[in-house]
Amino acid sequence: MTEIRVQPKSENVEDRVDPETYRVVELPDGGREGRRRYGGVLFGGSALLLLLGALGIGGLRHYQAGLEVAATTQQSRTFVPDVRVAAVRASDSKITVSLPATTTAFEAANIFARTSGYIEKRYVDIGDRVKAGAPLADITAPELDHQIAQAKATLAQDQATLRQTQASRDLAQLTNARDSNLVKQGWLTLQQGDNDRLTLQAQQAAMGVAQSNIAAQEAQIRILEQEKAYQRVVAPFDGVITQRNIDNGSLVQSGSTFMFTLMHPNVIRTQVFVPQDEAFGLGPGVEAVVRVPEIPDRTFPGKVTRIATALQPGSRTLLTEIDILNPDGALSPGIYCTVELFIPRRTPSMIVPADAVVFDQNGLHVAVVENGTARLQKITIARDFGTEVEVHDGVKPGDQVILNPMVNLAEGSKVAVRTVRKAQTS
């Protein structure tokens, strides 16, 4: 038999906790087995209830998630994003191009010795300003004077020979005239007549030779006198001496000794190489401004005076020259500077904010708003100004382009314009 203690039913709390209030009840031997069965049934029912509850909760959550997804999908279908746009504008009528350049003198000449000798006197030095025709140096060459004297003596000999030959020709002419009548009358032989005629022809040829010798000698004397004139070296134009390579007593050789470099700095010629994409529209008369980094508070205006017409094959650039008046000598030949050219635009183009340009697998494009719908337009960038870009196609002036478009923005998407700002001036 199995004994168990059973507490009697009582409303008194003290009786419930008092061990003496329990009574012993004897159960048959099958009570333990029945208790086990009862516990198993109770456990299985509890587990089933928990499982059913979990399934119910899971189904409820899944249903709620499905409702949320459907609501989100519906919202995404009907959602119209707010976008910021900017207006596309036409480019200016002129292109402003800033390029590096180099200044040169309007005129420059390297002066060489044209006669051989020694420097007798040098009149100028580096930095001296001279006028056209001013003496630069004197060269002494005594042997040249001797050559001139010899040439003049030879000329006198040739002139004497001419006079002698002229007298012989006159005698031969008279003899031939007198003997020809006698030959016709038969008083002289034909042989004598031929001798007189041929002698006259020989004297006439000798006259021609004497005259040619005189002309050649006179030319030689002029050459020597010109070389003597080159002994005095003069300035070919107004300018400044920028190089000197001789001193008093220096030996110079005709045609090979470099003496001075003379430059004309009152007008500065600025050379700049303009790239091909900016050369179209460039020509004489185009306005330009020259700036020198070392003179930041001053600009030097000028105009394009000449262009090379043909582009350099290697660099695809156009040689352009700009003349700058320099009366006060502020600019010097050979300095580095920058040139701003205001070139008339030949090809129309538009200015688009850089924030509107998108580059992806479809290439470069912008999103244009038309009647509340986004249209993707491909563009071709001509120049990049940083905050703006210049394009040739894809858009037109007045188009509204979306700034910083969304990644998932597709062709035909509905959009709402939030604010509008104008593109900044380049």
Q: Are 213 and 157 in contact (CB under 8 A)?
A: no
Sign of CA dihedral 70, 71, 74, 80: negative
Mean of pLDDT values over 59-72: 70
Q: Given pLDDT bands bounded at 50, 70 and 90, which one contains residue 181?
A: confident
Task: Please give the share of the chain, as a percent, with pLDDT higher than 90.
Answer: 35
- What is the pLDDT of the chain when averaged over all its residues? 83
Give the residue, 308 or 52, on which the prediction is more confident.
308
162 has a pLDDT exceeding 80: yes
Q: Given pLDDT bands bounded at 50, 70 and 90, which one contains residue 61?
A: confident
User: pLDDT value at position 77?
Assistant: 56
CA distance 144 to 151: 11
Least confident of 26-35, 39-48, 106-115, 214-223: 26-35
Q: Given pLDDT bands bounded at 50, 70 and 90, which one contains residue 237?
A: very high
What domains are defined for the chain? 2-63 (no CATH), 116-234 (no CATH), 349-422 (2.40.420.20)
Q: Given pLDDT bands bounded at 50, 70 and 90, which one contains residue 412?
A: confident
Mean of pLDDT values over 171-179: 85
300-347: per-residue pLDDT in tens?
A: 999 999 999 899 899 999 999 999 998 888 898 999 999 999 988 877
**3-class DSSP state for residue 81?**
coil
pTM confidence score: 0.55
425 has a pLDDT exceeding 50: no
CB environment 87-114: b (16+ within 10 A), e (fewer) = bbbebeeebebebebebbbbbbeebbbb
101-140: per-residue pLDDT in tens?
A: 999 998 899 999 998 999 999 999 999 999 999 999 999 9
35 has a pLDDT exceeding 90: no
Mean of pLDDT values over 244-250: 93
